[in-house]
Amino acid sequence: MGPDHEGGDEVRDRGHNVKIVLIYENGDANTASSYSFPFVYWYAFVYWYLLDLIPPSCILLRENRGKIMNQNKIQEKKDLVWKEQSRIFRKIKENGFEVYASSLKKLSDMFGVQDGYVRCVDEGTPGGFHAAGSGILRSKKEMLKIFRDAGVRGVTSHDGCGAAKMFAKANCKDETCGDAEGKKWAKELASELGVPYRHISFAKMQRPKEFHISRAAYYDGTGCFNFGDGKKLPPGYIISRQIQSEKASLSEILLGLNISFGPNGFGERITEDEPFILVAVGKTKTDTVRLKKELRSLEHPYGKKVIIDGFTAPRT
Ligand SMILES: [Zn+2]
């Protein structure tokens, strides 16, 4: 099919059409039609791969190429983070989480004074209280009561929020509006609570923009746990069981598992040998045992790829 059949404006994004248009947009259409097909292919190849000066008609092709390159880079980056974390997980595996955590010199720093801001359960936003998307998936009335009772001092939203994206999808909105919906929710909540609102951009988040790095989820019964910089305790989702019901907290654990086992998480890297850990974090030993029991009641489809462990906060 030649340019005469296509017309200058009727650009296609695949097959011969694009290659013909390459010629067409760079000169005389009549001249283009006189080229032999092999030459046209050769010309398009040089144009696309070597010059990299791609006209608008090839944007889809360029994007596809970009996506493939980007995906490869993301997988390499994931491998690197996974490898780095494996060092910590190997130590945890030796004698369990309790023994490993108690061997850390500054464990008490992970239970310091918190700022009272509500953040997502996302591992990129540690600190303060936690609820998925700052509670966007639940009723406003319920969340206002929970946050008032907890003495919340601020509400945040963040870039790339999976919970806000789920909310947008569930409410028949374009999922690309997720972040806008997340901001709207957090602002409204902050306003009704009479506390400040803050947005956390990717630049300030403790994870890469492109994917989640959790191989652990902390089921926090203390209300002030923070895994720090992720170099001693592994980074993970933090679920504030201390301020929310068992049912709501377990549903947030499941949300985290689904992310981590999906394309935005470590996915198939998580195995029975190198499992995801649900970590009960109790104020006392009895508390830790109770939280572990709750975690055992969670039904999920990942079998032995998910294990339950836990540790108790140091006495202050
Ligand atoms: Zn989020």
Q: Please spell the DSSP secondary structure of 93-141, one letter per residue.
A: HHH-HHHHHHT-TTGGGGGS----EEE-S-TTS-SSEE-GGGGTTS-HH
**Nearest in space to 116 (alpha carbons), one of 204, 219, 242, 245:** 242
CA dihedral of residues 56, 60, 65, 66 (deg, nearest 10): 80
Ligand 1 centroid – CA 120 distance (Å): 5
**Nearest in space to 198 (alpha carbons), one of 154, 162, 165, 163:** 154
Q: Predicted confidence band at 313 (pLDDT cuts at 50, 70, 90)?
A: very high
Q: Predicted confidence band at 195 (pLDDT cuts at 50, 70, 90)?
A: very high
Ligand 1 centroid – CA 133 distance (Å): 4
For 162-178, what is each residue's pLDDT tens digit?
999 999 999 877 767 88
Q: Predicted confidence band at 43 (pLDDT cuts at 50, 70, 90)?
A: low
Ligand 1 centroid – CA 62 distance (Å): 31
Of the ranges 170-174, 193-197, 255-259, 276-280, which one carries the lowest mean pLDDT score? 170-174
For 73-90, what is each residue's pLDDT tens digit?
999 999 999 999 999 999
287 vs 42, higher pLDDT? 287
CA dihedral of residues 31, 32, 37, 43 (deg, nearest 10): 110
44 vs 157, higher pLDDT? 157
**pLDDT number for residue 174:** 72
Ligand 1 centroid – CA 187 distance (Å): 15
Q: Is the pLDDT assigned to residue 23 strictly greater than 50?
A: no
Query: CA-based angle 296:298:304, to the nearest 5?
Result: 70
Ligand 1 centroid – CA 113 distance (Å): 23
**pLDDT number for residue 44:** 59
Ligand 1 centroid – CA 155 distance (Å): 12
Ligand 1 centroid – CA 182 distance (Å): 8
Can you give the pTM of this predicted structure? 0.79
What is the rounded average pLDDT of the residues 11-32? 40
